[in-house]
Structure 1
Amino acid sequence: MKKQLLTAAIIAASAASASAEQFWADNSVSLLYGSDYTMTPANGEENTITTMTLEHVSGHSWGGLFLFVDRLNGESDYHETYGEFSPKFTLTSFEDSVVKNINAAFTYEFSSSTVGQNGSGFSQDNYLYGVGADLAIPGMDFASVTYYYSQRNTNFDNGDNDHQITLTYGWSEGNFAIDGFLDWSTGTEDHDAELNFTPQLTYNLGPMLGVQNKVKLGIEYSYWNNKFGVPVSNPFDGIEKDSDRDQNAVSLLLKVHL
């Protein structure tokens, strides 16, 4: 049933894109390098991770599309691929209002990892369905808030469905920009509530380099409380205290818009 719903969402987004107008699109590739990443792998230690990301975002007359794929490589021979496919469909729009659009929202999250030569790791396929709003906040380039009902499917043994609120935001002044997201999800009997706050602070070096495309250099800060929702009652091996589940990581970021 989940695969059928995912297929239907992809077909709907593709069909709408083919028969409607695209207003804008942006593609980028980025490289992230930082330490203090927890539970990657799930050993209670903080590790150094290098991440390459391919990202697409576009606006259409029917709504919008955001998708990305991360490839993570870290210590202990850790490798992970994580991605999201997230279309939204405009239900209604408003003029001269803080709320610009009301959207039907869908997100498919997928990932798998391997650790060491024995290939141990995890996998997940999560399906999020919800409704959201694009906001017109003075001074902001963009902002949105979305509620999701999340169907979780992981091999962490903490896969009960839950609810999630997602905020996205972006602000810029000249070549300086701040953007990112905040995810908060509820807890259940088998996993704890999570808070993931991840902003990026960048400066566009494109004009200095004499190129029209944006070439952003900066940092990403990742604060993730109760990462993966790992419960205290059933922690991973190596998780000995609450702080082992929390991530505070600052990484160097290079992002090139294509």
Structure 2
Amino acid sequence: MQSLSRIALAASLAVLSMASQAADWSDTSIGYRYGSKFAEPFGTNNIHKNIFNLTHVSGYSYGTNFFNVDLLMSDKNDPASPGSNNGAQEAYVVYRHTLDLSKVTGANLSYPGVVRNLGLTAGFDWNVKDDAGYNSKKRMLVAGPTVMFDVPGFLNVSLLQLWESNAPTNEYTGVATPRYSYDAHPMLTAAWSIPVPVGLPISFEGFANFIAGKGKNEFGGQTAPETNIDMQLMYDVGTLWNTPKKFKVGFEYQYWKNKFGNSYKGAAGDGAFAKTPMIRAEYHF
């Protein structure tokens, strides 16, 4: 797992280097967040996790790029192997490219006060995790239209089609499942960063994913619709030293119902319904 994390990080840095060289503008950050109420399906909902992330956003002549890699480290409540006191580790990578339709077509697609622009978004999710019960190896492609709303900061809403597969291994039973593709399914997703008008450099940031059921899972069970909302109130501490947009701290809350498509009302139990407060810090460069 450590070697895979290093590979993911090295690949991430290579992608960021190439994207930054071609960008008209860019914002790269490293961050840390911590919470003690994380949950995993079929497990507990009191998992402590330390999460380190590398995020890059950039724009060029015809659109924008978003790239994020999370390195998640659990405590023993999410064990790396049966009976282990060592917590699981996970790497999760997200990439999205949004093609700016106004720039590509030369047409004015805005509606002042409502819509800033329209786009087409495509990308992927990739993860690997070394937990005892599932050992996820998620691979997912996404594509669909995006509406960029005319608000302070930004609010982008996309309707994406998802093509997802996984090839888990259960260390309790020793069963390795061949790569399995779920039914293609839609996701309504939003991402935002909006200044809060309170006279302080505070922003309301986050994302929300509303994901339809993806048919049968790899074990023949029916999947459930999924809701994942991650919200943050971030304070721009850098303004205290006349270096705005450099260092932010704040509070984060994640609401994740039917995590990974597992119904919390079924065998997955309370571990499929996470309600997780966190602290968060980011350094931008």
> Is 1:204 the equivalent of 2:236?
yes
Tell me which residue corresponds to 1:252: 279
Work out the CA distance in 2 between the residues paired with 1:231 and 1:43: 13
State the AA in 2 paired with 1:194.
Answer: E
What is the TM-score when the length of structure 2 is the normalising length? Answer: 0.74
Work out the CA distance in 1 between the residues paired with 2:58 and 2:47: 34
Answer with 209-218 or 99-108: which moved more.
209-218
Q: 1:223 to 1:158 in 2, by over 3 A?
A: farther
> Is 1:126 the equivalent of 2:126?
no
Tell me which residue corresponds to 2:176: none
Answer with 63-72 or 97-106: which moved more.
97-106
Cα deviation per residue 1:140-194 (whole Å; 9 max; x = unaligned)?
Answer: 3101110111001123668322110111121114411111111001114321100
Tell me which residue corresponds to 1:28: 29
| Runs of 5+ unmatched residues, structure 2 | 1-14, 77-86, 103-107, 169-179, 217-222
Give the one of 58, 82, 91 matched to 1:81. 91
Mapping 1:54-65, distance limit 5 Å: 54-65=54-65
Offset at residue 107 of structure 1 (A): 2.0
Q: 1:232 to 1:168 in 2, by over 3 A?
A: closer
Q: 1:254 to 1:61 in 2, by over 3 A?
A: same
User: SS in structure 1 opposite 2:166?
Assistant: coil
What is the TM-score when the length of structure 1 is the normalising length? Answer: 0.81
Mapping 1:212-231, distance limit 5 Å: 212-231=244-263
State the number of aligned residues: 232
Tell me which residue corresponds to 1:7: none
Answer whether contact 1:26 1:257 (CA < 8 A) is retained: yes
Offset at residue 95 of structure 1 (A): 4.2
CA RMSD of aligned residues (A): 2.5
Greater share of strand: 1
> Is 1:166 the equivalent of 2:197?
no
Work out the CA distance in 2 between the residues paired with 1:184 and 1:120: 23
User: SS in structure 2 opposite 1:123?
Assistant: coil
Cα deviation per residue 1:213-240 (whole Å; 9 max; x = unaligned)?
Answer: 52111111000110111146974xxx3x
Among all aligned residue pairs of Structure 1 and Structure 2, give the percentage whose two residues are the same amino acid: 22
| Runs of 5+ unmatched residues, structure 1 | 1-10
Answer whether contact 2:258 2:264 (CA < 8 A) is retained: no
Answer whether contact 1:39 1:46 (CA < 8 A) is retained: no
Give the one of 149, 161, 175 matched to 1:135. 149
Offset at residue 120 of structure 1 (A): 6.1
